Amino acid sequence: MILNIMIREIQHNLLSLRLQIAFILSIVIFSLGSIAFIKSHADNVAEYKRYHNDFIENMREDAEENLTQMAINSRQLIMAPRGSNFIDDAKERYTPNRFYFSAYNIFGYDVNPGSTNPFLNAFQELNWIFIVSVIISFTVLLFTFDTVSGEKEHKTLAISLANSLSRGNLLFGKYLSVILTTLLILLPGLCLSLIIILLSGSVAIHFNLILEIAGFLLAAIILTACIAAFGLLASVLTYSARTSLLYALCFWLLFISFMPNTAVFWASTIFPIEKGESVEERIRREQEDINNNAPPGSWSSSGGNPFLPQHELRANNQTNLMNARVSITKAYYNTRFQQFERVKLLTFLSPVSLYSYLNESIVGGGYPRFQKVWNDLHGYQAQLLQFFKEKDANDPDSPHWYNPYEDYSTTRKPAKFEEVPIFEEKPLSFPERFKYAGLYLLVLVLYTAGIFILAFVRFLKYDVR
Amino acid sequence: MIQHIALKEFYNNLVSVRFTVGFILCLFLIPFILFVSIYDYKSQVQAYEVDKQRAEERDQVRVYSAYRPDIVKKPEPLGIFCKGINFNVGNRVRIWFGVKPLLASGDSSARENPHLNAFLTIDFVSILAILMSLLAILFTYDACSGERETGTFKLLLSNSIERYKILLGKILGVILTLLPVLLICYVLSILIMVLFGIASFSWHDFLRIGLLFGLSVVFFLLFIALGIFISSRTQSSVTSVIVCLFIWATVVFVVPNLSVYFAQSFVKVRSQENLESSLSELNREFYKKYEEISNELENPDIWFMHFNHNGGADGYRELAGTADKTYEYYRQLNIHTVPLGIENADKKWAIQKAYFDELEQQRHTAEWLALLSPSEVFRLAASALCRTDVDSHLRFLDRTRQYREELIQFFQDEKIFDSFQYFTRVPPEKFRSADEIIEITTNGKLKSRDEYQTWAQNRSDIFSIFAAQLPEPERRNDYYETLDLSNVPKFQYKPNRILDDLKHSLSKIAAMFILSVLLFYLAFISFIRYDVR
């Protein structure tokens, strides 16, 4: 019986104006988004290649001239443009995407100001996730808001239920039909977009990408199911389709605009963190203490004589200064991470936000990607330092007093650049992605089930007369 | 008769669920968003106070070369209504001769955690644009089609009443219903601001708020016109609402993102790394010339005890305790290199300007594309009224560059670059020769530099002969008060007049208004031919 209802509903939907408009809109935005992606991705890749070549050349010059310079020079690592940006850019242009490190330390991270034009408003790229979270979710609500209340107004609901048909089956049939109809809108646009992008050659198809697309589709279906459940809820809450539409639009506005866009306010009021300036002040005070308590001669130096005994004191002092900075900033960064993760939990109320978190985990971008690079970079820094220390140990002209900032008391010999470890960003493995995605997936599914059950219970008591 | 219809529509609307829901939504969302904006504004003010204090501390200098004032931009209270680009750009500009200020630095944003950039923010104008356009559509989509469906249209037209009067009455009814809601939103927002102590509005600002209200009315009329027009073109209210809502979602949510995304994708801006490397290249050339000049000048030996020397080739230098020849050497160096530094800044500006033009071109493209969306036009005009638009910010930056020129002119007119005061607080009459310094700092044990050099030969404790404390404290910079800078030109910035601010937006607002009138006109034509059966 469910099948009959579904077929009837889908046939009805297929002929509806809303499907036609949504279909055209989806095709147009998928195409425009893909074209813009191809252009911007090509530019970003070219720009990144130039930057990366400079980065490597810089390091090569240092290594082939003086290993200590290679170790102490602070370097900037910028995250490479991600091929799966056309699925979800995860707002990587606005979030931390640049890291500062040397062989001794990871100094910090920030947002590369070059990744945005300050005169333009923050925007969402017209990628697949935008289409699903804005256009598709809106369409789903327009498909569902009058499912029950509209039928009641036309008196067809009473007739339908006069047959030997359970209310559960009727509602579930309608529900599934909306999800399937939405897929009919989504899939052609998605295929078109994929064809445009693959034909342009800007992104190569590979197994990971196929998995990411499959994951995206799964997430899109779950979001569709969730929004459809909200649409049904709006429909069964009232006896008039107009009022249902109002409720549905209210849900949509809250999910799309209000909840995610007030997160920054909640973050700063409910989970405040220390100001960056005050952290810098603490570092300054601690470093001042270290300098005041340093043994005499800790600032003496002689560029010509590495073995000057004061160089050891100087190296120790600089190491202490660095360690003071590292321990304070590390703790501060952890509070940043915690604040962000907590405020994300608050936005779990919006299925659209949950969906975007789920997607960024699936494509391995955004915050999970940042965390991966951040952790891997720490591993790499340890490896680079180890390499430097090994080379330094073999140099009889070095006193081996490790100074993290200055070239006084460690090896000044060159090294073959081929031997120097180079950082390469590894994409998140699928188990790693699932570690992040699992929670969002679970919450979104439970959320969907909860809202559907609510709609179902309300429908059981619905007066169809 | 029009009045009767308008009143009937008004009463009908007033008791409708859509009015209740819409009104509650406005009453709940608008104050909340306003509260968030006030919170952000207060954080900005706090940050401004700190920055301002730091800037004042920075102005306490002992030499002119250290005078590099920080201009801190005061947060704009009208930004509570429309944040514009407030949170994208910095609030601080450092004025110095080595470079012309291109963009503001410093963080005007209340956002401490860059991870939170993953969330966008929303302001009063944006939420108003979303809600008022939605309400306008929800109150008009069934103006014709709805009455046709319920059969009341035929009844209405069976009376001796012209069709245009019915439509006019309906339009007036909707305006009568929603205009007070809009007005309440504004009154409420002003009350909330007064309640939170944001009372620094001048009458000019109130005029701007009044114009913002007028702008909101134009925007709102456009959507009423759109709703009425679509309703008059369709036979069923479901069709009408679907078409209206898709248009609404497209212009409010899709086009604003599309315009910026397209501008960023198709109008290329060189990378900042690229810009930095071009500037570094010019700097390298400058330092090379600087070195050549310093080598050409007669270079005295400058290694004396109790000698304070900070700064370098970038123009800043603070010097004291040294010999008269050394002072003269640096004065000569400044005479030759400071104009070179200023010239280098002009050369760098050519590159910076090219970068800046690219940013601007990208912005103009985005704004042109945004003309497709009335909500974006409304937002852009509102940000101009609230002085948070790009043009207002650029005027501020222009003014900082002008101020830099004024400062250079002042330094040149007063011959400060050529003076000792540019790099030392020690007055020339206190300068001593190298031999005198040796005599004083060794408490008379040695009489001249030559004696000192003979004494120091083959010794490791070459500093041991000098007194621990400088016998003549007046030869140190910190012996003196900081410079009196009261005669130095101060930065002054007058924001634009309202009309100037609206200059760029007027055509867009007029276009919005004309489009509304056109849609109303088309709606009238359609309505006169409407099949009411």
CB contact B263 to A (< 8 Å): yes
Residues of chain A in contact with residue B110, where contact means CB-CB under 8 angstroms, are: 268
Looking at residue B448, the DSSP 8-state letter turns out to be S
Would the CB atoms of A130 and B257 count as touching at under 8 Å?
yes
A125-129, A229-233, A257-261, B278-282: least confidently modelled range: A257-261
In a domain, A340, yes or no: no
Q: How far apart are the CA of B113 and the nearest CA of chain A, in angstroms? A: 6
The pLDDT-based confidence of A136 (bands split at 50, 70, 90) is: very high
Q: Which amino acid is at A451?
A: I
For B47-96, where are the E strands, in sequence order? 70-72, 92-94
d(CA A460, CA B505): 55
The minimal CB distance from B18 to the residues A121, A246, A370 is found for A246
Who wins on pLDDT, B283 or B322?
B283
In a domain, A53, yes or no: yes
Would the CB atoms of B117 and A95 count as touching at under 8 Å?
yes
pLDDT of residue A146: 84
pLDDT in tens, B16-31: 888 888 888 888 888 8
Q: Is the pLDDT of residue B263 over 90?
A: yes
CB contact A340 to B (< 8 Å): yes
In this structure, are strands B317-320 and B308-311 parallel, antiparallel, or unpaired?
antiparallel
CB contacts under 8 A, B 13-32 vs A, are 17-18, 21-22, 25, 29, 32
- Candidates B46, B115, B397: best to mutate against A (most CBs of A within 10 A) is B115
Exposed, middle or buried, A363 (CB in 10 Å: 0-12/13-18/19+)?
A: buried
A334-348, A350-364, B220-234, B455-469: least confidently modelled range: B455-469
Q: Is the dihedral of CA B203, B208, B209, B211 positive or negative?
A: positive
What's the Rg (C-alpha) of chain B?
34
Number of domains, chain A: 1
d(CA B40, CA A266): 12
The pLDDT-based confidence of B144 (bands split at 50, 70, 90) is: confident
Q: Which two tokens stand for residue B219?
A: 């925007």
Residues of chain B in contact with residue A246, where contact means CB-CB under 8 angstroms, are: 17-18, 21-22, 138
Would the CB atoms of B88 and A249 count as touching at under 8 Å?
no
DSSP codes, A259-316: HHHTHHHHHHHHS----HHHHHHHHHHHHHHHHHHSPTTTT---TT-TT-THHHHHHH
Using a pLDDT cut of 90, give the percent of chain B over it.
33
Would the CB atoms of A366 and B118 count as touching at under 8 Å?
yes
Looking at residue B483, the DSSP 8-state letter turns out to be P
The minimal CB distance from B272 to the residues A90, A113, A366 is found for A113
Sheet holding A106-110, edge to edge: A75-78, A98-101, A106-110
Q: How far apart are the CA of B334 and the nearest CA of chain A, in angstroms? A: 29
Looking at residue A428, the DSSP 8-state letter turns out to be P
Q: Is the pLDDT of residue A270 over 80?
A: yes
Q: Is the pLDDT of residue B161 over 90?
A: no
pLDDT in tens, B175-206: 988 899 999 999 998 888 888 877 677 888 88
Mean pLDDT throughout A438-454? 94
Q: Which two tokens stand for residue A110?
A: 């920030």
The pLDDT-based confidence of B307 (bands split at 50, 70, 90) is: low
Contact A91, B117 (CB under 8 A): yes
Residues of chain B in contact with residue A138, where contact means CB-CB under 8 angstroms, are: 245, 249
Residues of chain B in contact with residue A45, where contact means CB-CB under 8 angstroms, are: none
Would the CB atoms of A258 and B114 count as touching at under 8 Å?
no
Contact A332, A322 (CB under 8 A): no
Would the CB atoms of B118 and A367 count as touching at under 8 Å?
yes
Would the CB atoms of A146 and B238 count as touching at under 8 Å?
yes
Residues of chain B in contact with residue A280, where contact means CB-CB under 8 angstroms, are: none
Would the CB atoms of B36 and A39 count as touching at under 8 Å?
no
CB contacts under 8 A, A 406-445 vs B, are none
Mean pLDDT throughout B131-156? 80
Print the domain residue range for A366: 2-266+352-398+424-460
Would the CB atoms of B111 and A264 count as touching at under 8 Å?
yes
How many CB pairs below 8 A link A and B? 203
In a domain, A345, yes or no: no
d(CA B440, CA B442): 6
Residues of chain A in contact with residue B250, where contact means CB-CB under 8 angstroms, are: 25
Residues of chain B in contact with residue A29, where contact means CB-CB under 8 angstroms, are: 254, 258
CB atoms closer than 10 angstroms to residue B336: 15
Q: How far apart are the CA of B352 and the nearest CA of chain A, in angstroms? A: 14
- Which secondary structure element, helix H or strand E, spans residue A108, and what is its range? strand A106-110
Residue whose C-alpha is closest to residue B127's, from B252, B258, B24, B242: B252
pLDDT in tens, A30-80: 999 999 999 999 999 998 999 999 999 999 999 999 999 999 999 999 999
Q: How far apart are the CA of B168 and the nearest CA of chain A, in angstroms? A: 24
Contact A365, A84 (CB under 8 A): yes
CB contact B239 to A (< 8 Å): yes
For B184-334, where are the E strands, in sequence order? 308-311, 317-320
**pLDDT mean across residues, chain B:** 86
pLDDT of residue A36: 94
d(CA A313, CA A306): 12
- Name every residue whose Cβ is closer than 8 Å to that of residue B468 and which is 6 or more positions away in sequence: none
The minimal CB distance from B39 to the residues A47, A257, A265 is found for A265
CB contact B138 to A (< 8 Å): yes
d(CA A440, CA A442): 5
Query: Directed axis angle between helix B498-528 and helix B390-413, to 10°?
Result: 160
Nearest-by-CA chain A residue for B137: A246
In a domain, A170, yes or no: yes
Residues of chain B in contact with residue A242, where contact means CB-CB under 8 angstroms, are: 17-18, 142
d(CA A429, CA A409): 41
CB contact B122 to A (< 8 Å): yes
How far lies A274's CA from each of A280, A300, A335, B22, B119, in Å? 10, 36, 8, 39, 20
pLDDT of residue B246: 93
Would the CB atoms of A40 and B265 count as touching at under 8 Å?
yes
Q: How far apart are the CA of B488 and the nearest CA of chain A, in angstroms? A: 30
Helix (H, G, I), strand (E, B) or coil at A59: helix
d(CA B451, CA B447): 7
* The Cα angle at residue A255 between residues A252 and A258, in degrees rounded to 5: 105
Nearest-by-CA chain B residue for A23: B246
Exposed, middle or buried, B131 (CB in 10 Å: 0-12/13-18/19+)?
A: buried
d(CA A63, CA A57): 10
Would the CB atoms of B118 and A91 count as touching at under 8 Å?
yes
pLDDT of residue B302: 60
Q: Which two tokens stand for residue A10?
A: 């889908």
pLDDT in tens, A164-205: 778 888 888 889 999 999 999 999 999 999 999 999 988 888
CB contacts under 8 A, A 228-247 vs B, are 238, 240-243, 245-247
Q: Is the pLDDT of residue A384 over 60?
A: yes
Q: How far apart are the CA of B523 and the nearest CA of chain A, in angstroms? A: 21
The minimal CB distance from A126 to the residues B258, B274, B363 is found for B258
Contact B271, B351 (CB under 8 A): no
Helices (H), B386-433: 390-413
The pLDDT-based confidence of A336 (bands split at 50, 70, 90) is: very high
Tokens 């049939």 found at: A173
In a domain, A135, yes or no: yes
The dihedrals phi and psi of A299, each to the nearest 5 degrees, come to -110, 10
In a domain, A111, yes or no: yes
Mean pLDDT throughout B43-53? 88
In a domain, A331, yes or no: no
Residues of chain A in contact with residue B253, where contact means CB-CB under 8 angstroms, are: 134, 256
pLDDT of residue B247: 94
Nearest-by-CA chain A residue for B105: A113
Q: Which two tokens stand for residue B29?
A: 């969302």
pTM: 0.89
